[in-house]
Amino acid sequence: MENYLSTEFARSGPLLLAEALNKGRYKTAQRVFELMTPEQVVDEVKNSGLRGRGGAWFPTGIKWSFMPKPPLKGPSYLVINADEGEPGTFKDRAIMEKDPHLLLEGILIGSFAIRAETAFLYIRGEYLTAHDALATAIAELEQAGFLGDAVFGTKHRLRIVLHRGAGAYICGEETALLNSLEGRRGEPRPKPPFPAVYGAFGRPTSVNNVETLANVPAIVEHGAAWFKSVGTAQAPGHLLFGISGAVERPGCYELPLGTTARELVEKHAGGVKGGKKMRAFIPGGASTGFLPPEKLDVAMDPESLKKEGTMLGTGGIIVIPEEISVVDAARVFSRFFRHETCGQCSPCREGSAWSDQVIARFQRGEGQREDFTLLEEIMRGSKQRTICVFPEAFAGPLGSAIKHFRGEFESAMTTQQAPHA
């Protein structure tokens, strides 16, 4: 299968509409609006097995099938999650800066599938260059009649509202994002009700990630069977793997799900920078935690990583070189999560601050034997009765660091308390 997500990534600026049309873009969207029914689109996406690329890997077609069907009692909305903030993740940015029309064609088809006449594109505030590329691309579509009151000259209406966030990692969580879109503090909402019932502005809403939607035009164009011909049985298709940290050729690599971490790091990213040894790698963004280099042969798909006790997350691989200790790297994350908790639930607020203090203690070489039990208690305690799964995100690096690199923490204890021989 040829690449279908990253064809424009080598460009210096965004692909504009005229050129996009020359490449056959929007033919699929036009066919959808002119000839298909929403059910047919949802079925094709359902059959393709496409799962959400925002990190939770929920099947997209099934999510769409939860949306209301006629007779509709009011508007439904599509909300695009472009809040990309998980450390080690930069794929959505690449799509939006280089190929905004790929995302926009996905938005057109997705909106049609869930019968939404308004799509809110929530983009993180710092992504100003991507924002500008999208604003231009949306204006091009309005001019061309691909948006507005008669999309492609049909009776369908659609408008896209581009909305900038303002700096808060937690707004990537879908219900926090909805609050933020509504002009509120970006605090996650208790679920249920789920967004498909009570979402943006109290209306049924589907929240989908940028890369998820970027997969949709190709799926509808080539069909579910085509899509399922690559990737794994449970997670078909390509993924944009971000590879960063200490590698020779960091970047975004489009490859089938299930490609091994070794192939990604060694073959595509050119191995550890400067020919050094690897101390650890992170498979899919900060919250997926650390794995030792012996695990490099793991297949990068949700099921295989689950077997290793972690997650695929966003597929953003981060390579930690030999000269950096996992204790120090874990501190970068504990400080990050402490900073980013929204603070609504005390186990999460206290737990993220407390665990950061404990890791800082180890970092100063003042760790104590009881600190291991303490960290485990914090992780257990903070997962209880919280509104969202943020505590699992901060427990990822913490738990895996202690599990796979306990020795490093033991040598970072006060000398009086060093492990007995």
Partner 1 sequence: MSGSGQAKAEGLPQALVQALPEALAAELRALPLRYPQRRGALLPILHRLQEWRGHLDPADMRLAGEIVGISAAEVFSVLSFYTMYRQRPVGRFPIGVCRNISCWVNGSDKLVETVKQELGIAPGEITADGLFSLQEVECLGSCGTAPCLEVESRYFENLTPDKVRALLARLRAGASDPAAAIRSAQNEA
Ligand X SMILES: Cc1cc2nc3c(=O)[nH]c(=O)nc-3n(C[C@H](O)[C@H](O)[C@H](O)COP(=O)(O)O)c2cc1C
Angle, helices 346-363 vs 390-404, to 10°: value is: 30
For the packed helices 27-35 and 100-113, what is the interaxial angle rounded to 10 degrees? Answer: 10
**Range 151-210, binding ligand SF4 (CB under 6 A):** 170, 188
Among 244, 325, 344, 400, binds ligand SF4 (CB under 6 A): 344
- Asked whether the beta carbons of 330 and 367 are under 8 A apart, the reply is no
Is 48 an interacting residue with respect to ligand SF4 (CB under 6 A)? Answer: no
* CA dist., res. 364 & res. 57, Å (int): 38
Short-list 379, 371, 382, CA closest to 398: 379
349 binds ligand SF4 (CB under 6 A): yes
Does 56 interact with ligand SF4 (rule: CB under 6 A)?
no
Judged by the rule CB under 6 A, the positions of this chain that interact with ligand X are 52-56, 58, 81, 83-86, 170, 172-174, 207-209, 212, 388-390, 393
345 binds, among ligand X, ligand SF4, partner 1, none (CB under 5 to 8 A by kind): ligand SF4
168 binds, among partner 1, ligand SF4, ligand X, none (CB under 5 to 8 A by kind): partner 1
Judged by CB under 6 A, the residue of 200, 348, 358, 402 near ligand SF4 is 348
What φ, ψ does residue 144 adopt, rounded to 5°?
A: -80, -10
Judged by beta carbon distances under 5 to 8 A according to partner kind, the member of ligand SF4, ligand X, partner 1, none in contact with residue 293 is: none
Q: Find which of partner 1, ligand X, ligand SF4, none residue 212 binds, CB within 5 to 8 Å per kind.
A: ligand X
**Nearer to ligand SF4 among residue 251 and residue 343 (C-beta):** 343
DSSP run (H or E) holding 242: strand 238-245
Say if residues 261 and 318 touch (Cβ distance below 8 Å).
Answer: no
- If contact means CB under 5 to 8 A according to the sort of partner, which of partner 1, ligand X, ligand SF4, none does residue 16 touch? none
Q: Return d(Cα 179, Cα 173) in angstroms, integer.
A: 10
Residues in touch with partner 1 (CB under 8 A): 75, 84-90, 92-93, 118, 124-129, 161, 163-169, 180-187, 200-201, 203, 242-246, 250-252, 282, 286, 316, 318-321, 324, 329, 332-333, 336, 339-340, 342
Write down the H helix ranges in 36-127: 38-48, 60-65, 91-98, 100-113
Q: How far apart are CA 138 and CA 24, in angstroms?
A: 18
Structural contact between residues 181 and 199, judged by C-beta atoms closer than 8 angstroms: no
Minimum CB–partner distance for residue 254 and ligand SF4 (Å): 32
CB of 125 to ligand SF4, least distance (A): 19
Tell the smallest beta-carbon distance from residue 165 to ligand SF4 (Å): 16
Beta pairing class for 251-256 and 205-209:
unpaired
Alpha carbon distance 55, 133 (integer Å): 25
- Show the DSSP H helices in 229-325 as ranges: 261-262, 302-307
Least CB distance to partner 1 at residue 229 (A): 28
Residue 14 CB, shortest distance to partner 1, in Å, is 15
Q: How near is the Cβ of 189 to ligand SF4 at its closest, in Å?
A: 9
391 binds ligand SF4 (CB under 6 A): yes
Structure token digits, residue 11:
């460009």
Half-sphere exposure of 156 (CA within 13 A, CB side): 28
